[in-house]
Amino acid sequence: MTATLIDGKARAARLRADIATHVAPFKAATGRAPGLAVVLVGEDPASAVYVRSKGKATREAGMESFEHRLPVDTTSEALLALVRDLNVDPRVDGILVQLPLPAHIDTQAVLLAIDPDKDVDGFHPVNAGRLAIGAAGFVPCTPLGCLLLLQDIHPQLAGMEAVVIGRSNIVGKPMAQLLLQQSCTVTVTHSRTRDIAAHVRRADIVVAAVGIAQFVQGDWIKPGASVIDVGINRTETGLVGDVDFAAAQAVAGAITPVPGGVGPMTIACLIRNTYVSACRREGRPDGLGTAS
């Protein structure tokens, strides 16, 4: 058996194109385009690349991109003042403060200051609570992208056994909540879990988000399972995921590559969340389906 490759790049392109078709009638009805504000503090090279990618994807969807690049010595007070201005700016539907922030800035205070209804990253505790109870909010973009990839493979996820490796607030916990909403039976494993391999071996769905290169071994994978690899780890031989790809591909039914799997979906879901935010603020249906 050789697993089917889950092409996140192609799926993300389809999602962005779908959003673009909805943006045109939104603009015609409201007289404006949905707007995403991205804030970058400092000159971190990886963060700068992400910001450029997000701006490009936003503009390609026909939406407004508002980029705020601040010097590395920006104070917490100055950054909080900018966030407050963006909260009340009628042109802005989504606010994203690029992480990590410089060490002298209180990251938690900044994230808490973002209006939850413009928190298209889905990191605000209000949106975490909304996800937990199944209310409409914003889901972090990476787990949302993972769910959309899984739904392409399995239109009906109910009853499937899912194992999430990792319990971060950004991926692991919201991923588990999304799978629960789909009526999966979900196990969350982490650094204190006894015998992670035993849990993974019974899983129909494995989502690896642990941040350790090739942590998940091929003989852990149940034959025919779907494997979503969230990890991006730089090694001497290049980028690899949290899964031993070659070994897992020989056993799994479907698997995401690294790169080209989950990564492109993260940006596409950010664009999606921004468009959904604009529709909610204008009292319009988004027409994109049921995912939060």
CA distance 20 to 272: 10
CA distance 12 to 18: 10
Which residue type is seen at 192?
A: R
54 is a catalytic site residue:
yes
119 is a catalytic site residue:
no
Which residue type is seen at 135?
A: A
Residue with tokens 């673009």: 20
Are 91 and 58 in contact, with CB atoms under 8 Å apart?
A: no
Q: Which of 93, 98, 173, 214 is catalytic?
A: 98
Are 243 and 207 in contact, with CB atoms under 8 Å apart?
A: no
Q: Which of 117, 121, 229, 244 is catalytic?
A: 121
CA distance 138 to 3: 32
Q: What is the DSSP letter of 243?
A: B
214 is a catalytic site residue:
no
> How many of the other CB atoms lie within 10 Å of CB of 134?
11
- Active-site positions read 54, 98, 121
